[in-house]
Amino acid sequence: MRIWVGFAVLVGTPVFVGTVVDMATGGHYTSSDNWVGLVVPPTLVLFGTVLPKVSRLLGKSDRRFILEHVQNTLAARIEGLESAK
């Protein structure tokens, strides 16, 4: 997620600042709607930081199930390889 947030900041900051300057000066440097330049870059950074935290909270109760499933799957594969020898 660090790569995503870094990319979003590197690409989104100039777009966001350019849109704010364009709106403040009344220029028409950007050809698209101004709301896209104001909303999208902060939203990308927000999703890159909040989404992993929310997913950890949602998956917290399933941690034991996931670990048991991985353990059973790996044990089954190891037994299958040993019996093939």
Extents of the domains making up the chain: 2-83
Contact indicator for 2, 28 with CB cutoff of 8 Å: no
Q: Is the pLDDT assigned to residue 80 strictly greater than 60?
A: no
Structure tokens at 15: 């777009």
Q: Is the pLDDT assigned to residue 84 strictly greater than 80?
A: no
Which H, E and C letters describe the chain, residue by residue? CHHHHHHHHHHHHHHHHHHHHHHHHCCCCCCCCHHHHHHHHHHHHHHHHHHHHHHHHHHHHHHHHHHHHHHHHHHHHHHHHHHCC
pLDDT in tens, 4-26: 899 999 999 999 998 888 888 88
